[in-house]
Amino acid sequence: MIEEEPIRMQEYHVIIIGGGPAGLTAGLYAARAHLSTVLLEAMIPSGQAYMAERIENYPGFPDGISGRELVERFVRQATTSGLEIRQFNKVESVARAGKTIIIEAGGGQFSTAALIIASGAQANTLGIPGEDIYTGKGISYCATCDGAFFKNQEVAVVGGGDTALEDALYLSRLAHKVYVIHRRDELRAQKILQQRALENPAIEVIWNTVIIEIKGTEMVKTVVIENKEGGIKRELSINGVFIAVGQRPNTDFVRGIVSLDEQGYIITDAECATSVPGIFAAGDVRKKGLRQIATAVGDGALAAAAAERYIALKT
């Protein structure tokens, strides 16, 4: 069941931080192994997958499935198997005390023999004038969350990867016009997404261009864009800006505890073990070549199995 109240120190075989596909899969496997397991999540268990309007590349759903429905199925299966979920504003700290790992969250403390970090990643920002002012006032980092507010209006999507084109395609069904502003002369997204976007009459790609400022009054009104080749600047009238320029891992709470790469992703071995015995990482928070729901699920299963073996060797 899901509980919201802060609790005092409690002991578990396994603690999981993060409620996306990786964390929920780890919880499912750990609970089915009859290990006392709690998942700590800062919001409704979901992760970024929850926000996806349509997921077409997860096996078993040939007609696709919404991210919300898929994640709700994950939650239902994991909790039915015995996973406990607790919600807190954030995890404050992780520390080792001998062979025990102590986690502080929501004013309470938890102890465990094995910790699985599945805290995911969050959207990068542009760091330009106006971004802080108009976030939530025309600037969004989630098209499926906020797209409905821009029906029949003109919007811009910043980026050239899978997320950017998925956002653009989704918005093209709502907005009157969608500009994709990309700093290079070619897109990085999957070819099928590129084909759909380039053939969509509602989408226009503005190549070799960056946004250097976002302007408005109470809401976004224009963006100042600059062509990187000629240095020409101009203002583009739009009502919304959707920023999709990559992610950064949610690892601040374990910085200095486990080994991270230069971008802050957790370094693990093939079984999702980190540099610290008893701490594992799964999903988008882990350094790896592909971040998809399918790989997150695989990570969760691997991490839970590795945690089970680690606990067995300790006892």
Could you write out the three-class secondary structure of 267-305?
A: CCCCCCECCCCCEEECHHHECCCCCCHHHHHHHHHHHHH
Residues 88 and 159 in one domain: no
Residue 44 scores a pLDDT above 80: no
pLDDT score of 8:
64
Query: For residue 266, which amino acid is it?
Result: I
Residues 279 and 259 in one domain: yes
Q: Give the confidence band of 106 by pLDDT, cuts at 50, 70, 90.
A: confident
Question: Can you give the pLDDT at residue 4?
Answer: 52
Shared domain check, 30 and 141: no
- Cα-to-chain-centroid distance, residue 235: 31
Determine whether 272 is an active site residue. no
One domain, residues 113 and 194: no
Of the candidates 97, 118, 151, the residue with the CA atom closest to the CA atom of residue 38: 118
162 a catalytic residue = no
Q: What is the pLDDT of residue 1?
A: 47
Q: Which domain holds residue 12?
A: 2-122+247-314
Domain boundary among 243, 261, 296: 243
Q: What pLDDT is recorded for position 68?
A: 87
- Catalytic entry in 145, 185, 252, 261: 145
| CATH code for the domain in which residue 65 is found | 3.50.50.60
Name the E strands within 207-251.
209-216, 220-227, 233-237, 240-243, 247-249
Average pLDDT over all residues of the chain: 92
Total domains in the chain come to 2
- Same domain for 39 and 142: no
Shared-domain flag, residues 91 and 8: yes
Residue 132 appears among annotated catalytic residues: no
For tokens 């653009």, name the residue: 168
Distance CA 22, CA 125 (A): 24
Pick the last residue of a domain from 243, 258, 285. Answer: 243
